[in-house]
Amino acid sequence: VLPPWMPGGVRANGSWGDGFGPIQDVSKYGDDYGWSLFYSGREWNYREGHNRDPMPDEVHAAEVVEFLGGNHSAPFLLTVGFSRPHSPWYAPQEFFDLFPLDSVQLTPILKNDAADCAKILTQDRDISEPWGWHKYEKIMRNGGEQQLRKWTQAYLACVSFVDAQVGKILDAIESREDADNTIVIFTSDHGYHMGEKEYLFKFSPWEESVRIPLVVSGPGIAKGLECFSPVSLIDIYPTCMDYGSAKTSYNLDGFSLRSLLEDPVAEAWAGPSVSVAVSGSKVPVEVNQPARAEDQHFSLRSMYFRYIRCRNGEEEFYDHRVDPNEWTNQIDNPHYRADILGLQQGLSAILNKTK
């Protein structure tokens, strides 16, 4: 399930999620090699490259462009999902060419960065899917920093590949008569570590995993401005309902982002002052039963700070005004006592609502 160009140690101990590289004719390596689609298992043909089968994300973009080319007199909501840059990190060669390997810069990584982090995370690796540490170690044992650079190149190539698909959709929107009456929301379900804290995955409570892109454009929405108020994915649905003048027959957990979108500088809205993320632990959960909140690891992000509380009581606190990489855990720094207390009480109030 791994391509023949991967290091032997990775191929011997890796899985499909470790693969990366340019899409190419793998049949040249032997009859045992070929591409197939992940879910259906259907054969995917490279042929001579210029006439290859489209990749799934290209299929999605083409379907959306076709839809947008039609006549739709009634208002509509169109949601589009792309796989990349999810693992495995394969993309056409031209997107790798955008990032020559010798020009690729690794993300800033601090040696022994995890030394002041919660031991239940960095030593016990108490996350339900702890693959991030395994993936990082696998790369460092099989090529070290240069292999990490190659992986970073692949990640960047996959991001650019998806950017090209998004561009096709935006062009199709711009060609429509109702383009000026269209709201576009671009976001993701999670972030990703690029080696920070010796971790290469999602599911962590730290900034690299929890923070996501959220870009919105449309009529009445401020242009070219950035909003620093922390918001959450659960706020997107109420926002769509608001702009669509639609009502729900039940209470929503999220809040409309409309006031922030129209005036991001004022940073005034009805939502909370923090966003909340959860990293599931290894505590077993019965099938079809909700996991207990007290068994999980929680991460709160305010405009300036991140506060982490693990299920065993260990805590972390970071000041993003001076430490955007979350390199220094300030949980024991008396200078931040009031800020820490505020977030501690905020999380306790949130958890009390789950009981």
Q: In the chain, which ranges are E strands?
A: 20-22, 35-36, 43-44, 89-91, 184-187, 214-217, 275-279, 297-301, 305-309, 315-319
The predicted structure's pLDDT at residue 15: 87
Query: What is the 8-class DSSP label of residue 72?
Result: -
Which residues, 6+ apart, have CB-to-CB distance to 163 below 8 Å?
none
Which residues, 6+ apart, have CB-to-CB distance to 86 below 8 Å?
none
The predicted structure's pLDDT at residue 353: 84
Name the residue with tokens 């999602």.
202
* Chain centroid offset of residue 288 CA: 26
The predicted structure's pLDDT at residue 2: 87
**C-alpha span between 236 and 257 (Å, rounded):** 7
Per-residue pLDDT of the chain (355 residues; tens, 9 = 90+): 788 899 998 988 888 899 999 999 998 898 888 999 988 999 999 999 999 999 999 999 999 999 999 999 899 999 999 999 999 999 999 999 999 999 999 999 999 999 999 999 999 999 999 999 999 999 999 999 999 999 999 999 999 999 999 999 999 999 999 999 999 999 999 999 999 999 999 999 999 999 999 999 999 999 999 999 999 999 999 999 999 999 988 899 999 999 999 999 998 999 999 999 999 999 999 999 999 999 999 999 999 999 999 999 999 999 999 999 999 999 999 999 999 999 999 999 999 987 7
The predicted structure's pLDDT at residue 67: 97
Model-wide pTM > 0.85: yes
The predicted structure's pLDDT at residue 73: 87
**C-alpha span between 93 and 87 (Å, rounded):** 17
The predicted structure's pLDDT at residue 65: 98
The predicted structure's pLDDT at residue 216: 98
The predicted structure's pLDDT at residue 354: 78
Q: Which two tokens stand for residue 47?
A: 């042929």
What CATH number does domain 274-355 carry, 3.40.50.1370, 3.30.1120.10, 3.30.2130.10, 3.40.50.1360?
A: 3.30.1120.10
The predicted structure's pLDDT at residue 273: 94
- How far, CA to CA in Å, does 238 sit from each of 27, 101, 233, 245? 49, 43, 10, 10
The predicted structure's pLDDT at residue 262: 97
Q: CB-side exposure of 273: number of CA atoms within 13 Å?
A: 9
The predicted structure's pLDDT at residue 106: 97
What strands, in cross-sheet order, belong to the sheet with 297-301? 275-279, 297-301, 305-309, 315-319
